[in-house]
Chains A and B, each alone.
Chain A
Amino acid sequence: MRPFTYERATSPADAVSKAAGRRNVKFIAGGTNLLDLMKLEIETPTHLIDISGTGLDQIEPTEDGGLRIGALVSNTALAADPRIRRDYGVLSRALVAGASGQLRNKATTGGNLLQRTRCPYFYDTNMACNKREPNSGCAAIGGFSRQLGVVGTSNACIATHPSDMAVAMRVLDAVVETQMPDGATRSIPIAEFYELPGGAPYIETVLEPAEMITAVTLPKPIGGKHIYRKVRDRASYAFAIVSVAAVLQPDGSGRFACGGLAPQPWRVEAAEQLLPQGASAAAQRLLRDAQPTEGNRYKLKLAERTLAAVLAEARS
């Protein structure tokens, strides 16, 4: 871990102003991913701004009947919130499917969105990784790729986004609220929040330097049956091989997004239109542009069968 200086921010405005103009600064809250990466020198900030005292730990109703979730609300608190459990069950389910109890107690809503990939080549600094070190190559392509992405990937990167929560947020059309150093705020629909890797996999989100996530808002509840199905080898405390977040309506229509397949939560609205035709049609549309490796081709079938499981659960 490289040396860094440390200061505490007292408010979002204070945090972004402290970050403004600095080149190698990171906000830290839960720290469960950032410190892991700093120990391995995958992240090497020289200054940390502790935002845990900025007061963003509330869940409040919005004017249009939704909820605004402060960026610092812990995964545990969010999963346990009665409103989330009642109206956004898929989100609660996704949260408790992730990590461990200890990690969920520390991990925050904002930080969860910004988790970095678990690709083993990203994690080993001896290996070529375009995400970690621009233009160094990708050792994962042609390497051990069983866990890695099949769609939305590029010839520069086949990493997946590891979050469960973000998959549910994507299916719920969450909006990411941010604050900039100049006082401006942005509301970024989660559909537009993540960047595909293309030739620049080191750019993962649309966030600008010193821009800070302050909240995630959920639109008003959409009813339906909420399901989060996470498939993994180990029964718990493991990243998804494939996951499906779905909100399904009694008439057979619905929404779904997948984790474990792509560099970001993977949702294709055109595939949702095919849900009434069954899992096969919807999954094929979802993965139409897939480019799996030999090592992860099985994920295509697994995604389809997981979606079938979700549809079966919704019917039951």
Chain B
Amino acid sequence: MIQDEDFKVSRRGVLLGGVATTAIASTLSPTSSAQTSLPQVEPVSLRFTVNGQSRELMLDTRVTLLDALREHLDLTGTKKGCDHGQCGACTVIVNGQRINSCLSLAVMHEGDEVTTIEGLGTPENMHPMQAAFVKHDGYQCGYCTPGQICSAVSVLEEIKAGIPSHVTEDITAEVGMTNDEMRERMSGNICRCGAYSNILDAMSEVAGEIA
């Protein structure tokens, strides 16, 4: 099936995959002579602000925000744990809201303001949440940690903003800065090392200071 309409660039004269083909699955689709290849992707420009700095990139449309940060801007503090929205290691803050950067196309962030772990603080000048994580040993291997911290900072904001959660007792009432509220809201950030209890201690300390 040819999908010429979507690609203006020449495509080495080969066919593009159709709607529901799955090329990996040889058990389902034994080798056929009708092999298809892929068209060239024309880069798309992106201008956005990352950690306060204006950045401009020309990107393959398929590049995720996560890979734009890691592979194109060398901001490797944001981690790729699963690349499928199932672990939270890639959490960054976009326009004030935390998101999974792995499930977001970079080109959809034109004009956005992105804050990554590098934008929160540095080893010499840590954000209070970063310092609290160190103090309470809220991490072990460190791989989920940037995502945990970006989430933790956002979670305190979300509670303050009165956004309800699954554990909010009365959904029409104000939301309290409770342990359960923090644990529930942090549940999209998996820590396989099991630092959860310490992360909560770190967050509680910061929450106490800002309350």
Contact = CB atoms under 8 A, between A and B. Distances in A.
Nearest to B162: A80
Interface residues of A, number: 54
Interface string B77-113: 0000001110010010000011110111101100000
B44 interface: yes
Interface in A41-61: 41-42, 44, 46-48, 50, 52
B163 interface: yes
The listed residue with most A CB atoms (<10 A of its CB), out of B102, B158, B163, is B163
Contacts of B27: 126
Interface in B1-27: 1, 3, 5-7, 16-25, 27
A212 to B, nearest CB: 17
A264 to B, nearest CB: 21
Contacts of A127: 25
A44 B20 contact: yes
Contacts of B84: 36, 39
A62 interface: no
Given A4-B61, A126-B28, A236-B184, A132 B100 contact: no
Interface in A97-139: 97, 99-103, 105-106, 125-128, 132-134, 136
A6 B44 contact: yes
Most chain B CB neighbours (cut-off 10 Å) among A76, A102, A128: A102
Nearest to B172: A85
B166 A96 contact: yes
A105 B16 contact: no
A102 B88 CA distance: 8
B99 A102 contact: yes
A89 interface: yes
Interface centre among B22, B39, B41 (most CB of A within 10 A): B22
A57 to B, nearest CB: 13
Nearest to A84: B171
Interface range for B = 35 or more
Q: Which of B28, B184, B189 has the most CB of A within 10 A?
A: B28
Contacts of A85: 164, 171-172
Interface string A11-45: 00000000000111000100110011001011010
Given A31-B103, A79-B164, A102-B151, A5 B7 contact: yes
B168 interface: yes
Interface string A59-84: 00000000000000000100110100
A184 interface: no
A132 B7 contact: no
B60 to A, nearest CB: 8
Nearest to B26: A126
A35 B104 CA distance: 7
Contacts of A86: 172
A106 B93 CA distance: 11
B62 A3 contact: yes
A180 B133 CA distance: 51
B128 interface: no
Contacts of B28: 126, 128, 133, 136
Given A24-B6, A39-B84, A44-B20, A76 B62 contact: no
Interface in B21-50: 21-25, 27-28, 38-42, 44
15 contacts: A2-B17, A6-B107, A23-B3, A31-B104, A32-B103, A39-B84, A41-B24, A44-B18, A46-B3, A101-B98, A101-B151, A102-B91, A103-B188, A132-B22, A133-B20
Which 5 residue pairs are nearest across A and B when measured between Cβ atoms?
A100-B188, A236-B187, A125-B22, A46-B6, A6-B61
Interface of A: 1-6, 22-24, 28, 31-32, 35-36, 39, 41-42, 44, 46-48, 50, 52, 76, 79-80, 82, 85-86, 89, 92-93, 96-97, 99-103, 105-106, 125-128, 132-134, 136, 202, 230, 235-237
